[in-house]
Every structure is written in structure tokens, then in C-alpha cells.
Amino acid sequence: MRRLKILVLSILTLVIITLVAACNTQTPAPTTPQTSTPNVTQTASTNLTYVGEQTCQSCHKKGNYDKTPHHQSFKPLSAYKFDKTYGTVTVYDGAANDAKSASIDLSKALGVQMDTYVIAEIPKTAGFAKQFYRVGRVTKNSDGTYKIQSAGLVKGTQNWSAEDYSCLECHSPGMGKAGSPDLTITCESCHGPGSAHIAATSDDQRKATMPLPTSQTCLKCHKSDPTKDTTPGATPGAIITTNHYGTRDYTFSKHNTTGMINGCLTCHIPHAPDAKGGLLRNANPNEICATCHAGKNYDVNTIMWDNKSDPHGHITPDHSFTAVPESATKVNPKTKNVEITDPTVLNMIKKALPNLAK
């Protein structure tokens, strides 16, 4: 009996050892394949191209966007009734001291920026310093037609000087960019090139490829910080309000410094303009104030003072909301810039923007 027990135990021990060895040498069972979602943003970021607003509109409703100041900032030549047919002119490179010239057919220009400048692309063979130029200036005749004159003249001559289209980054953000057919401010001006977006195959991928604009997106063009006046005739070292394109002095507004609101998008709604192309959330701006300031009766025309001295005619109300009151400023008739003269306001600005004090 004792020998039988020993034999059984020996057999069991041998079986256990064999099983353990088999487990250690067995090929692991394959894991279930993981279906990975391609990182569209990383894949496309090295080769993003523009697709044009017509492509965007195949899915996204356009509304009244054509009527907005954004879209209207650059128009085709067909939007104007000219007093005659304008043909080829010789223009000189104003971005390089008028050193070289090129022949430009005005009838084939790209369009007109801000109802003022005719914009054209200069052939690379001309050797100009830049690619795009203001090659003419549009003015309205008394009979309602338009004429094209030189954008500038070569000093001491009647030769047309092609002026650098330095306004391109804000007025025509897609101009010259890969794949872009748009010449004015469109969807991709704020959202970025859309090639990865339209190539995506799921909602999650589409969201990952299309960053949503923020106040910083707006402030790239609608700048808020004051600057030093460097124009001839300016008071030395004078600090001036941003009066050309800016949300003038929004930097110092409590709306900005407290961080309690969603910046520009609290009052403005770029995707739902009204019938006239207005970009406010309410046609009555006083009512916009009341949505947060209940019981207060604000007069927007008072707290957002207007600078009528803007030399470019881009009249933008002050967005400091009395942080920089109109009384703190003074128009310099030599420069048509609004210089900030109030010591308290200057001190506030220098603390927030110390580089201006240098």
C-alpha cells in the first residue's frame, strides 16, 4: 500500500511538471487586433492645402457671409463698372526702390482691396522683390463709374509705381497659398487650410483637423495693443491708439483682464451675420451689454468712443470700454493719429506693455 501511494504521488508530480513546462513554452495566444484611428492632424500637418469656400459650403450653410465686411474687403473687378477698358500698363517695383519694371494687364488683375487698390500678381520673370502688388488705385467718378489710376508714382516721374501689398495677411490670407482659390476673407482665413478636414472620414477626425477660432484668432488682424508713433511729425516717443484695423485698446478692458467672458465671441458671431452682414449677436449693442450687466443702461456710443481721425478710413470704436477714455487722448493734426496723453493711462499701459516704455 505504501509503495502504491509513492507511485501515485510520483506520477502526479511528473504530470504537474510536464504541464508547467508546456505552459512556459506555449506560444502566447494572439491578442485581438486594435483598430487604430489615424491621427489626421499629425498626418496632414506636414502638407496642408486650402480647398476654397465653395468646398466648405458643400456641407456648411453660408448664410449672409457674402455681405460681411470680411468678405467684402476684397472684390473681383466684375463688381465695378469702369469708365473704360483698362489694358496693359508698365509698373515699377515700389518694394525695391522702383529698380525693375513689368508689364501688367489691369483687366486681368486679381481684384480690388477695400474698394481702393487693384491687386495683381507680378510674373516671377520680372524679378520683383514681392509676389503681389497694389498696381492701381480705384476712384469713383461723379457719374457712378470707376477709374483706375496709379497706386503711386516713381519719384520725380509719371511712371506707375507698384506698391507692396502689405495688407495681404489680413485682407487676403489665402492669396498665394497652396490650393487656395479664395482672394478675400473666407472660412479658411480663420479655421486654417481644410484639406485634412475634407479628407477625414468620421466626425471625430473632422473635429480634430479643424481648430475653432478664439479671440487670439481675431486679434491676429484686429490688433488691440497701442503702439509708438513713428510717422513724420509725431511727438517723440508718443504712444498711440490702434486706429487702423484694431479693436482699439481691448487689451486694457476688464472684459479682457478678468477673463470672465469668451472674448470677442461674447458679442460677435462670425458664423451668423444678419441680413446686412453685421457680426453682432444683437443688432442693438446696448442689449448685448444688458445680457451680462442686468439692470444697467449702457450707451455703447458713449463708452466705445469713435476715432474719426483714422487716416485709412477704418473707423473702429474703442474697445477698452472706458479704461482708455477719449479724454486721455489727443489728435495730432500732423499725423492724424490719436496720441495717448493722460499720465495715469500711460502708466497703466507701460506696466502692461513694458517694451513700449523703452
The verdict on 159 and 252 lying in the same domain is no
The verdict on 235 and 123 lying in the same domain is no
Q: d(Cα 310, Cα 330) in Å, to the nearest integer?
A: 13
- Beta strands per DSSP E along the chain: 74-75, 88-93, 101-105, 111-113, 117-121, 132-140, 146-149, 160-164, 227-228, 239-240, 329-332, 337-340
Structural domain boundaries enclosing 82? 74-171
The verdict on 260 and 346 lying in the same domain is yes
Instruction: Specify the residue for cell string 495717448.
Output: 340
Q: Would 2 be classed as within a structural domain?
A: no
Sign of dihedral through CA atoms 73, 77, 83, 85? positive
Give the model's pLDDT for residue 27.
35
Q: Would 157 be classed as within a structural domain?
A: yes
Q: Would 196 be classed as within a structural domain?
A: no
Give the model's pLDDT for residue 315.
66
Instruction: Check if the beta carbon of residue 133 is closer than 8 Å to that of residue 94.
Output: yes
Give the residue from 153, 171, 189 where a domain finishes.
171
Q: Would 65 be classed as within a structural domain?
A: no
The verdict on 165 and 259 lying in the same domain is no
The verdict on 164 and 247 lying in the same domain is no
Those residues of the chain that have pLDDT short of 70 are 1-46, 243-246, 308-315
The verdict on 160 and 246 lying in the same domain is no
- Beta strands per DSSP E along 30-87: 74-75
Instruction: Specify the residue for cell string 525695391.
Output: 96
- 322 by Cβ neighbours in 10 Å (0-12 / 13-18 / 19+) ranks as middle
Q: Would 133 be classed as within a structural domain?
A: yes
Model pTM? 0.78
Q: Would 166 be classed as within a structural domain?
A: yes
Q: Would 200 be classed as within a structural domain?
A: no
The verdict on 84 and 161 lying in the same domain is yes
Instruction: Give me Rg for the CA atoms of the chain.
Output: 32
Q: Would 158 be classed as within a structural domain?
A: yes
Could you give the number of structural domains in the chain? 2
- Report the run of H or E that residue 72 belongs to, with start and end: helix 69-72
The verdict on 231 and 345 lying in the same domain is yes
Q: d(Cα 313, Cα 12) in Å, to the nearest integer?
A: 99
Give the residue from 128, 153, 171 where a domain finishes.
171
The verdict on 274 and 163 lying in the same domain is no
